[in-house]
Homo-oligomer: A and B are copies of this chain.
Amino acid sequence: MAEASRTSEARRDAVFGRWVVFSPARSRRPTDLKSHNPTGNPSPGPGAGAPKPSCPFCAGRESECAPQIFRVPPDDALPWRIRVIENLYPALRRDIEPPPEPEVVDGEAEAEEQPGELAVRGFGFHDVVIETPRHDVRLWDLGAEGVRDVLLAYAARVRQLREHPAVKYVQVFKNHGASAGASMAHSHSQMLGTPFVPPSVTSRLNCMKEVFDRSGNCSLCEIRSKDTLISETPNFSAIVPFAASYPFEIWIIPQQHLSYFHEIDEDKALDLGSLLKTMLQKLSKQLNDPPFNFMIHSAPFGLSSSCLPYTHWFLQIVPQLSVIGGFELGSGCYINPVLPEDAAKILRELDCS
C-alpha cells in the first residue's frame, strides 16, 4: 500500500497561477529518479570533431541549410562558432503578409455565428540557432564564454525580430533529446516570433499583475526562499520553484528586476552562461543525461510602462522524466512526485566541478 507517512500537498505558484499536486508517495526516493531515455549524445572523445555525414548543422554542410541570418564571428574568413539560420520547415512563415490586426474567420457574418474563434494568417519567424559547428559537443560542453555567446546570439536575434511591427512576442527555446521533441541531435535551439501574444504569456502576466496589485511586489523578486535555492551568482539565482510542475525543474532568475531578456549585456550573459552550464551539468549527472527543454520567459513587446513593475524575465529548464497523462492534459494541473525542497537540496549538494 502507499507509504502513508509521506504527505501530499497541492501548491499554487505566484507566476503562472498554476496548481501542482506534490505526491512523494507516487515515486521512489527522489535520488533514485533517473531518465529512462538518456539522450546519449557523446561527450567529445577520440575521433571527436568529425562531422556526421547526414547532419546539415555540422561545419561544411552550410549549403544544406535554409538561409543564414547571421554568424558568430561575423567575419566569413574565420570559422563560425554559432550560426543563426532560418528554419527549413517553419511553423510560421516570414514570406507571407503579416496580419495588420487579428482577422475574423471568413468575414463578419460568420464571425457572428462563431464568436470567439479567430484565424490569422500564419505569418511569423521561425529560426534555428546552431550552437556549435561540432556534432559531438553539447551546450554545456562549451566554456562559459561559449554559452554566453549563444545567449548573446539569442538576444541579438530577438532585438532584430522586435523591429518588425507585427511580431508581438519571441519564444526562445531549446529541445534536447528525442523525448523532449528534438528531431535533430546536433546541439541547437530555436525561436519563434509570433503575431500574437501566446496564451501562457498572457496568463503569466495576468497572474503577476494580480500579485502586484494585491501586494505591491513582483512575484519573481519575492522568490527568496533559502529552501529552494540551488546556486547564486552575482546577477542570477538558480532555484527549484515552490510549485514546480516537473520533477527537478529549475528556474534561473535575474536578481535585478528586468522585464526583457534581450536587453542582457555581455557581463550578465557570461554570468548567466556559467550558471546555465552548471545547471545543465547537474541535471545531466543527477538524472542520467535526461532529455530536457529550456524556455526563456520574457515580456511581450510594446508593453505599457505600467506593466514593467510586475514583469521579470527568467529561464525555465524542464527535464523530461515522466509522461504527461490525461489528468494534466485535462485539468492543466500537474502531478509532481518530487518536492521542490528535496530536488533543490540534491542539486545544490551535487558536485560537478
Interface residues of A in 13-48 (CB under 8 A from B): 13-15, 17-19, 21-23, 25-26
What CA separation (Å) do A200 and B245 show in the bound complex?
A: 14
Q: How far is the CA of A66 from the CA of B1 in the complex (A)?
A: 7
Q: Is A112 an interface residue (CB 8 A)?
A: yes
> In the bound complex, do residue B11 and residue A88 qualify as a contact, i.e. CB atoms below 8 Å apart?
no
For A174, what are the chain B residues with a Cβ–Cβ distance below 8 Å? 326
Is A12 part of the contact surface with B, judged by Cβ < 8 Å? yes
Q: How far is the CA of A190 from the CA of B115 in the complex (A)?
A: 34
A121 within 8 A of B: yes
Q: Which residues of B contact A19 (CB under 8 A)?
A: 194, 196, 198-199
A324–B326 CB distance below 8 A: no
Which residues does chain B contribute within 8 Å of A114, judged by CB atoms? 14, 222, 225, 242
Residue in B17, B173, B242 whose CB lies within 8 Å of A325: B173
A148 CB-CB contact with B under 8 Å: no
| A23-B122 contact in complex given A13-B117, A327-B190, A331-B201, C-beta closer than 8 Å | yes
Residues A8 and B330 in contact, CB atoms below 8 Å apart:
no
The one of B10, B66, B95, B324 that contacts A195, using a Cβ cutoff of 8 Å: B10
List 14 A-B residue pairs with CB atoms under 8 Å apart, sorted by A's residue number: A2-B88, A8-B123, A10-B124, A10-B194, A14-B115, A19-B198, A22-B122, A23-B90, A23-B122, A117-B243, A173-B325, A181-B323, A200-B331, A296-B330
A179's partner among B198, B295, B323, B326 (CB-CB below 8 A) is: B323
Q: Is the CB of A17 within 8 A of B199?
A: yes
* B21 contacts A92, C-beta separation under 8 Å: yes
Contact A175 B326 (CB under 8 A): yes
Query: Closest 3 interchain pairs by CB?
Result: A8-B122, A14-B116, A181-B325
Binds B, one of A135-143, A203-211, A231-239, A266-274: A203-211
A222–B178 contact, CB under 8 A?
no
Between A96, A178, A181, the greatest number of chain B beta carbons within 10 A of the residue's beta carbon is seen for A181
A196 touches B242 (CB 8 A): no
Measured between C-beta atoms, what is the minimum distance from A143 to chain B in Å?
Answer: 24
- Are B122 and A10 touching (Cβ within 8 A)? yes
A353 on the B face (CB < 8 A) = no
Among listed A54-62, A76-84, A212-220, A277-285, interface-contacting one:
A212-220
The verdict on A119 contacting chain B, using a C-beta distance below 8 Å, is yes
Residues of B within 8 A of A294 (CB): 326
Any B CB within 8 A of the CB of A156: no
Apart from A169-B331, A174-B326, 20 more pairs, CB < 8 Å: A1-B88, A8-B90, A9-B120, A10-B124, A13-B116, A14-B115, A15-B116, A17-B116, A21-B122, A26-B89, A115-B211, A116-B214, A117-B242, A171-B333, A173-B327, A180-B323, A180-B326, A181-B322, A200-B330, A316-B330
